[in-house]
């Protein structure tokens, strides 16, 4: 009996290794790469979460293309250090850092006010920043669940406050970094401040929220010459997965995309002239792909939008979309 069990275990391990190997090959062979040499000279890009990971690689690439970049950073000291490193690497000195904590409505308002005072245009707005917690439940300063506040409500308010400047900057682009993980989560319209929900699941919920918000935004901005698109960077070995336990951490390290590979679709959607008139689309591995039907419900997306306006406490004097 013992020999049989060992044999079965050996078969299971071999099968698992083969499965991981096949998955690894599939992941590596489907990585998209943006190979265009198009420049961004004269363009201003505002990106959240540019201090590390996908955002950092996006900033690095766009800086090389000559873009003027505004890095919205929660940790201003880290942002300044990253800025100096990128200036040294690329020779592009047109990189500035502004403080922004997306989990705080006041911080979003302060940041937006500064941008409106100092900037004449924004050609590309990239909602890249995101947070995920494995188990610790946290509230924002506004009493909202932290993941929802940072990944959805902050960007939602920021977009509203900057919309007039964006309209003055047309043609321009709004990009929202989401994830294929949206497929496994649903936004509960009856519980839009889910303080008691498992935090890591809420990361997936916010990726669904990103797309619901983006689809409604694209609909409202139709014919405005502002495009809105969503990005799936793929499975990337970034800070989101830094606490994954052994041996899964090995799978993340050796099979997932690195940050540079994960940033390729964001870079393409920021730069490519071929996407000038594309809006309300979902891109993955530098290709347009389809969305699941459940996330394209116009009635639910409109309701989510209306409830989000209430939660972010948008004022009648604020810009409207």
Work out the burial of residue 146: count CB atoms within 10 Å of its CB; fewer than 13 is exposed, 13-18 middle, 19 or more buried. Answer: buried
The secondary structure of residue 238, as a DSSP letter, is: S
Nearest by Cα to 195 from 138, 131, 134: 138
| 204 catalytic per annotation | yes
C-alpha 127/C-alpha 95 separation (Å) is 17
- Asked if 177 and 130 count as a contact pair (C-beta separation under 8 A), the reply is yes
C-alpha 237/C-alpha 254 separation (Å) is 9
Provide the edge-to-edge strand list for the sheet that holds 124-127: 95-99, 68-73, 44-48, 124-127, 172-177, 226-232, 281-284, 287-289
Q: For residue 171, is the peptide bond before it cis, meaning its omega torsion is within 30 degrees of 0?
A: yes
**Phi–psi pair at 318, nearest 5 degrees:** -75, 155
Characterize 26-55 residue by residue with b for buried, 16 or more Cβ atoms within 10 angstroms of its Cβ, and e for exposed: ebeeeebebeeeeebeebbbbbbbbbebbb
- Asked if 99 and 122 count as a contact pair (C-beta separation under 8 A), the reply is no
Q: Which of 153, 182, 204, 282 is catalytic?
A: 204
At which residue do the structure tokens 């250090």 appear? 81
Q: Catalytic amino acids?
A: 204
């Amino acid at each position: 009996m013992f020999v049989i069990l060992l044999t079965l275990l050996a078969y299971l391990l071999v099968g698992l290794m083969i499965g991981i190997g096949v998955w690894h090959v599939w992941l590596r062979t489907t990585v998209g790469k943006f190979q265009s040499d198009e420049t961004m000279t004269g363009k201003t890009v505002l990106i959240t979460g540019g201090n590390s990971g996908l955002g950092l690689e996006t900033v690095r690439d766009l800086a090389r293309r000559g873009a003027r970049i505004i890095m919205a950073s929660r940790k201003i000291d880290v942002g300044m250090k990253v800025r100096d490193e990128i200036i040294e690497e690329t020779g592009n000195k047109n990189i500035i850092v502004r403080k922004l904590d997306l989990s705080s409505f006041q911080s979003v308002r302060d940041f937006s006010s500064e941008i409106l005072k100092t900037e004449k245009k924004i050609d590309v707005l990239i909602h890249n920043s995101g947070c995920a917690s494995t188990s610790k439940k946290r509230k924002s300063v506004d009493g909202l669940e932290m993941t929802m506040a940072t990944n959805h409500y902050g960007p939602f308010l920021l977009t509203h406050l900057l919309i007039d400047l964006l309209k003055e900057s047309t043609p321009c682009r709004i990009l929202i970094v989401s994830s294929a993980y949206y497929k496994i989560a649903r936004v509960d319209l009856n519980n839009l401040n889910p303080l008691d929900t498992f935090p890591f699941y809420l990361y997936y919920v916010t990726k669904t929220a990103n797309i619901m918000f983006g689809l409604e935004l694209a609909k409202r901005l139709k014919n405005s010459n502002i495009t809105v698109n969503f990005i799936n960077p793929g499975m990337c070995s970034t800070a989101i997965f830094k606490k994954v336990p052994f041996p899964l951490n090995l799978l993340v390290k050796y099979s997932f995309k690195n940050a540079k590979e994960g940033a390729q679709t964001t870079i393409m959607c920021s730069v490519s002239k071929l996407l000038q008139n594309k809006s309300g689309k979902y891109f993955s591995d530098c290709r347009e792909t389809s969305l699941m039907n459940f996330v394209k419900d116009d009635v639910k997306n409109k309701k989510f939008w209306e409830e989000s306006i209430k939660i972010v406490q948008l004022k009648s004097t604020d810009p409207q979309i």
